[in-house]
Structure 1
Amino acid sequence: MNTRLTVLAGPTAVGKGTVSTYIRQNHPEVWFSVSATTRPRRPGEVDGVHYHFLSDDDFDALIADGQLLEYAVVHGRHRYGTPAAPVRERLEQGVPALLEIDLQGARQVKEKMPDARFVFLAPPSWDELVSRLTGRGTESAEEQQRRLATAKREMAAEAEFDVTIVNDHVRTAAEELLSLMGISTSD
């Protein structure tokens, strides 16, 4: 059996992680790829659960060995990538697989796996996105400005995706995504 990969992307601070967390907690049948990154761990993040936190040298080795389905520099600073083997293994096993990645990564996956389903998670409005980003309190003012500049470019890419889901309520957005994946959300 070969299951279709679902790729979830959208602008920074739109709530990709929050929607994904809801799905993880309520639908364990969905497999999530764990991305590799060179960025420092944030409080509460666990290596191998939230990300594989790697040194620049280790990340370079994965690239050189062709072991990443996609990778990119995000916000002009840190690299993120998706290890390819676990994704292909789950799809071959018929397990519903979801990649939660940035726009650059989604574009690379589209080149390598054009039959995947590409879902753009959009904010209810630009003002709401700004409020979410600045309200997190996890980035400096300079970093917030860098992320907002990135978000403007990312919002312009919405037409590249198969479908858009507006994240005005986490459960509703998650259930819409699950429905697209063919997963029942009724209790």
Structure 2
Amino acid sequence: MLDNIPDVHFTRPLDKTKPEQVLSTKAKESLLAPGLVNDPSKLREDVKVLLKAAKILRKDIANAPLWKFQGTFDNYEPPALLQLFCNHAIQGLHDVKTTSRAESMNQSASVLAQHFVCAYKTDRQVTYGTKHGNVAFKHRTETPLNVGLALDVHKNTRSKCLVEKLGQLDLSVPYKKVMEIETDIANSVLSG
């Protein structure tokens, strides 16, 4: 095929049971076009670096221990490399001069890292073909951000609809999980 059709590339999917895909250079570059606008040769190298960084961060997230809400939000540690990446993405390599600004930037980096963890999908989740088009991802990773936000929104608004909308946006755990946590808290208060 490579001899008969010029300008063809084969790409291997992450799932080894799937066949290789055939792409033209034009199709491949259109997928990467936003990153190849100004200087294609330099930006291609940048894209390679970003893809390598993404692979490292995905591995860091996948190997991180799962966090579960157990009455406190203080026992969460984001994946170390992801936290480092988020810190550098926000502040660069600059030293922060004041404690309050350092705390603010660390909090922003922590929130960003938790968003990454919540949005992370395994290779299997990404490559799995569903029979129905509108099926959402079932497995959701919990972090203090998405559990705390859901609990706080529900406590202040009592709105099931709002909590479900936040869950659809990967900003909070689903409403069902909020009800489970609130029931557990109520039971522990009653028994304690």
* Length-normalised TM-score, structure 2: 0.21
More helix by share: 2
More strand by share: 1
- Larger-gyration structure (1/2): 2
* Length-normalised TM-score, structure 1: 0.21
